[in-house]
């Protein structure tokens, strides 16, 4: 393990100041389930680790504020998976949180850490994309909100700036019923990242949205403007043709040890068809 200073500020401004020290190479520490591994294998080098778990603005709480559900940056997967409003209104996010790692990992792993690590296989990313989440960040120039589709750049890289911290992730609470689901394929059950991860959301009178990950450098959001996926009576063949068009940007790594590109692309289509079917069923149940 490399040598670094460990800081545990209790004020947001102190944390921002610390993050700008060490030539802006200082790193926030939340649950540590990604960061500690990367410090150990030296894929991240830093002189300062800033533990953010005592900063009140990042507190692990889930609350409704007006027409938004606010999830504090330090909220862990266990609490997201078990939260009543998330299970009812944002089922894909609850399902995604529930498959991250193991019980022990989910008790430490935060939602903010998952999107800041920015793995293309991050399980919560597709769900946040289909629900139109925004990332709230605080930094030296104040607070800004970043639509989640503008957040991911490529593996390990986001649009966060030096000195900035994620304080919360917000989800719009839209009127009307919504059917959603998250699906994934892994090489083996349990402690493994996804070979394909996918979420889908269906609302009455709105285009169907899907997002998929682990098949390219970042997770992607796609919208079906043809109306085919929104039609509960559309055929599997018609849906498959639409999904083929929507997934055209998928470009799995040819060197990954997890799965071949051909397998990932085939599974992406299978999961897409299943997700649309499940989301329609859930929409019908929610509207009944």
Residue 110 DSSP code: B
Question: In the set 165, 265, 271, 275, which binds ligand FAD (CB under 6 A)?
Answer: 165
Is 18 a residue that touches ligand FAD (CB under 6 A)? no
Measured between alpha carbons, how far is 236 from 238 in angstroms, rounded to an integer? 6
Residues in region 66-85 near ligand FAD by CB under 6 A: 73
Question: What sign has the CA pseudo-torsion 82, 87, 89, 95?
Answer: positive
Residue 8 or 108 having the CB closest to ligand FAD: 108
Is 199 a residue that touches ligand FAD (CB under 6 A)? no
Residue 78 or 228 having the CB closest to ligand FAD: 78
Minimum CB separation of residue 14 from ligand FAD in Å reads: 14
User: Could you tell me if 264 and 195 are in contact, meaning their C-beta atoms sit under 8 angstroms apart?
Assistant: yes
Classify burial at 22, counting beta carbons within 10 Å of its beta carbon; exposed 0-12, middle 13-18, buried 19 or more. middle
Minimum CB separation of residue 120 from ligand FAD in Å reads: 10
Measured between alpha carbons, how far is 29 from 278 in angstroms, rounded to an integer? 37
Residue 98 or 273 having the CB closest to ligand FAD: 98
CB proximity list for 90: less than 8 A, separation 6 or greater: 69, 127, 131, 171, 180
Taking every pair of Cα atoms in the chain, the longest distance, rounded to a whole number of angstroms, is 60
Residue 193 phi/psi, 5° resolution? -75, 160
**Rg for the chain (alpha carbons), in Å?**
19
Question: In the set 18, 75, 90, 110, which binds ligand FAD (CB under 6 A)?
Answer: 110
Residues 206-245, mask of contacts with ligand FAD (x by CB under 6 A): ----------------------------------------
User: Could you tell me if 232 and 284 are in contact, meaning their C-beta atoms sit under 8 angstroms apart?
Assistant: yes
Is 52 a residue that touches ligand FAD (CB under 6 A)? yes
Residues 122-161, mask of contacts with ligand FAD (x by CB under 6 A): xx--------------------------------------
Pairing type for strands 48-51 and 5-7 reads parallel
Residue 115 or 229 having the CB closest to ligand FAD: 115
Give the count of residues interacting with ligand FAD (CB under 6 A).
31
Where do the H-state alpha helices sit in 155-260? 236-246
Question: In the set 16, 31, 89, 92, which binds ligand FAD (CB under 6 A)?
Answer: 31
Minimum CB separation of residue 190 from ligand FAD in Å reads: 8
Which residues contact ligand FAD by CB under 6 A? 27-35, 37, 52, 58, 73, 99-101, 105, 108-110, 112-114, 116-117, 122-123, 165-166, 191, 193
């Amino acid at each position: 393990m490399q040598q670094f200073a460990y800081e545990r500020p209790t004020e947001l401004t102190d944390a921002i100041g610390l993050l700008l020290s060490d030539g802006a190479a200082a790193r926030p520490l939340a649950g540590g389930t990604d960061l500690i591994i990367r410090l150990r294998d030296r894929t991240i080098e830093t002189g300062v680790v800033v533990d953010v778990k005592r900063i009140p603005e990042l507190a692990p709480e889930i609350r409704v504020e007006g027409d938004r559900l606010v999830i504090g940056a330090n909220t862990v997967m266990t609490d997201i998976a078990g939260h009543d409003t998330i299970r009812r209104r944002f089922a894909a996010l609850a399902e995604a949180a529930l498959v991250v790692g193991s019980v022990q990992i989910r008790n430490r792993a935060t939602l903010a850490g998952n999107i800041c690590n920015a793995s293309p296989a991050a399980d919560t990313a597709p769900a946040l994309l289909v629900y139109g989440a925004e990332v709230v960040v605080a930094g030296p120039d104040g607070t800004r909100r970043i639509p989640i589709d503008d957040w991911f750049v490529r593996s390990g890289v986001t649009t966060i700036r030096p000195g900035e911290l994620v304080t919360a992730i917000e989800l719009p609470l839209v009127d009307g019923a919504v059917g959603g689901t998250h699906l994934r394929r892994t090489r083996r059950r349990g402690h493994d990242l996804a070979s394909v991860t996918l979420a889908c959301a269906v609302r009455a009178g709105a285009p169907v949205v899907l997002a998929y990950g682990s098949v390219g450098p970042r997770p992607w959001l796609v919208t079906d403007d043809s109306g085919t996926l929104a039609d509960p009576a559309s055929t599997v063949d018609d849906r498959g043709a639409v999904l083929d068009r929507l997934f055209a940007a998928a470009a799995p790594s040819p060197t990954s040890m997890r799965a071949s590109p051909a397998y990932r692309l085939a599974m992406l289509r299978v999961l897409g068809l299943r997700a649309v079917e499940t989301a329609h069923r859930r929409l019908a149940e929610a509207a009944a």
